[in-house]
Chain A
Amino acid sequence: AQSVAQPEDQVNVAEGNPLTVKCTYSVSGNPYLFWYVQYPNRGLQFLLKYITGDNLVKGSYGFEAEFNKSQTSFHLKKPSALVSDSALYFCAVRDIRYGDDKIIFGKGTRLHILP
């Protein structure tokens, strides 16, 4: 069965600095990996995904993520943080090899961007 771990409950970054939100995954087959963001009292919004190909994927709002197969990681990154990036971020995985391809989410990381 697939699983996702987000080792940090909270990440604090000063505005303008680069940010990284960590994610590791476990699947039996090949992973599809996703990042979502959730603002207060809002639903989850899709940010970006890795399916295949280039290990660095770019998404919405200047975010990008790097897929590392050997480390089974998919860390979310942004070169320069904005205060408006403060939100709850979720990593998710879909294991597409065995047909059991439901999407499983991590527990989330709260990102605080300090002005």
Chain B
Amino acid sequence: DTGVSQNPRHKITKRGQNVTFRCDPISEHNRLYWYRQTLGQGPEFLTYFQNEAQLEKSRLLSDRFSAERPKGSFSTLEIQRTEQGDSAMYLCASSRQGGPSNTEAFFGQGTRLTVV
């Protein structure tokens, strides 16, 4: 169990550019979550997957955000035409689905995005 891995750890981009983040979950976990966290706030739900199926996308997300998990393993989060308000920590988490012993999510270290 190598834990949840996120890359890159830091990303600085100019406003208007596109960025893509990658998350590698714990290998046997079929649930994968994306959250956004700003300084001193709680993780804000963005979207989550069951295997390759995207179950829900937050209504707070604009169409500039898209996420994929094509083979049910790693996931990518893309932000198009970045804005300064997109600056935040983007967190990925994974969990098993089903059963009382398989409920908690494990988080990666996050990708910190700065839009200048």
Query: Using Cβ atoms and an 8 Å threshold, which residues of chain A touch B40?
Result: 88, 108, 110
**B74 on the interface (CB 8 Å rule)?**
no
Find the A residue at minimum CB distance from B97.
A101
Q: Say which residue of B45, B55, B104, B109 sits within 8 Å of A104 (CB atoms).
A: B45
In-complex Cβ contact of A43 among B41, B55, B56, B107 (8 A):
B107
Given contacts A43-B109, A44-B107, A102-B33, contact A52 B100 (CB under 8 A): yes
Q: How many residues of B contact A (CB 8 A)?
A: 25
How many angstroms from the CA of A34 to the CA of B110 in the assembled complex?
Answer: 20
Please give the distance in Å from B43's CB to the nearest CB on chain A.
5
- Bound complex: CA of A13 vs CA of B107, how far in Å? 28
Residues of B in contact with A (beta carbons under 8 Å apart):
4, 33, 35, 40-45, 48, 55-56, 91, 93, 95, 100-101, 103-110
| A binding-site residues for B, Cβ under 8 Å | 6, 32, 34, 36, 42-46, 49, 51-52, 88, 90, 94, 96, 100, 102-108, 110
11 CB-based A-B contacts, threshold 8 Å: A32-B100, A43-B107, A43-B110, A51-B100, A52-B100, A88-B40, A103-B33, A103-B93, A103-B95, A103-B105, A106-B42
